[in-house]
Amino acid sequence: MSTLIFTLKTSPVQRVDCSPLTPELLTDKSLADIAAIELVTGNSTARVDSLFDMSGDDTADIKFANSTDKLDFVGRNMTSGKISIAGNVGAYLGLFLEGGQIEVTGNTGIYTACEMKSGQIKVNGNVGDFLGGARPGYKNGMTGGTVIVTGNTGARTGDHMRRGTILIEGNAGDYCAARMISGTIAVLGDVGTHLGYGMKRGTVLLTQAPTKGIPANFNDNGPHTLAFLALLFKSFTKLDSQFAKTAAFSRVQRYTGDLGGIGMGEILIKI
């Protein structure tokens, strides 16, 4: 058994819906069957083998090579196995992800890990807006699992996020943790303006004070020593991330908000 590799022939002009190419949907399919799957692209469809060169046979271990940001919905509804992507990838990576692993070597588009339930996504690059968010008009974003981003994220990281962990080794954009219901977002770099806008509950953990400042609608609770942080850092040690190597700390300045709402969200900044 060797990795099933889809190598993109040329960058498609229209966006391609790659949601049929997940481990469980391809199980028990022969290479010929897979080649004949019709993918929606633009306002028409195209056979898989017209877009990709294919090799390998292990449907539990899928790789997209030569990938571009036109490939949308990769890993949608995936429950097990592994998808790795060499290059960039488009919108809605890991939509409704329920299990398994996705790893990207490049950047991802908007709505990465949208309404993700479980599993792990690692992006070795930058991520677009609405990481771990809810689809437009929906009320619950990511409800579990872990997302690791080595680069920066766009605006509204963790919008409507319900549970789970987002670890950002670079910077987070504006409106980070906006409308966040619960869960954890940790950032090693800087965060943009309007941090925690409309935040209900949940934790934003920062290793440095944001250069744009703490929003006015967060209340300074003073310095705290929080024992749970040691446990949190311990849970990071098994991850393939900068966070595993970050020295644990439990002494933080605590801010709560958004006071325009129920105000139970917290921003913790390392002292």
Partner 1 sequence: MLKKLTGGRIYDPAHGVENEVRDIYILDGRIVKRPDGIRIDEEIDVRGKVVMAGAIDMHTHIGGGKVNIARTMLPEDHAADVIARTELMRSGCGHAAPSTLTAGYRYAEMGYTAGFEPAILPSNARQAHMEMHDTPIIDKGGYVMLGSDDFLLRMMAANKDQESINNYVAWTMTHSQAVGLKVVNPGGINAFKFNQRKLDLDEKNQFYGVTPREILLRLARAVNELGVPHPLHVHGCNLGVPGNMDTTLDTIQGIEGLPMHMTHIQFHSYGTEGDFKFSSGSAQIAEAINKHKNVTVDVGQILFGQTVTASGDSMRQFAAHPHSHPNKWVCMDIECEAGCGVVPFKYKDQSYVNALQWMIGLETFLMVDDPWQVFLTTDHPNGAPFTSYPHLIRLLMDKTFRNDILSTLHPEAQKASHLASLEREYSLYEIAIMTRAGAAKLVGLADRGHLGIGGAADITVYTDDADREKMFSTPDYVFKDGTMVVKDGNLIEVTWGTTHVVKPEYDISIEKSLKPYFDRYHTQKMGNFKISNDEIVDDGRGSLTVQPLHKGGPI
Contact residues for partner 1, defined by CB under 8 A? 135-139
Taking the complex as a whole, how short is the minimal distance between the CB of residue 80 and partner 1, in angstroms?
24
> Can you give the three-state secondary structure of the chain, one letter per residue?
CCEEEEEECCCCCCCEECCCCCHHHHCCCCHHHHHHCEEEECCEEEEHHHHEEEECCEEEEEEEEEECCCEECCCCCCCCCEEEEEECCCCCCCCCCCCCEEEECCCCCCCCCCCCCCCEEEECCCECCCCCCCCCCCCCCCEEEEEEECCCECCCCCCCCCEEEEEECCCECCCCCCCCCCCEEEECCCECCCCCCCCCCCEEEECCCCCCCCCCCCEEEEEEECCHHHHHHHHHCCCCCHHHHCCCCCEEEEEEECCCCCCCEEEEEEC
Nearer to partner 1, 136 or 222 (CB): 136
Nearer to partner 1, 138 or 271 (CB): 138
Taking the complex as a whole, how short is the minimal distance between the CB of residue 121 and partner 1, in angstroms?
22
Taking the complex as a whole, how short is the minimal distance between the CB of residue 79 and partner 1, in angstroms?
20
Nearer to partner 1, 82 or 179 (CB): 179
Nearer to partner 1, 95 or 127 (CB): 95
Taking the complex as a whole, how short is the minimal distance between the CB of residue 140 and partner 1, in angstroms?
9
Nearer to partner 1, 138 or 230 (CB): 138
Taking the complex as a whole, how short is the minimal distance between the CB of residue 192 and partner 1, in angstroms?
27
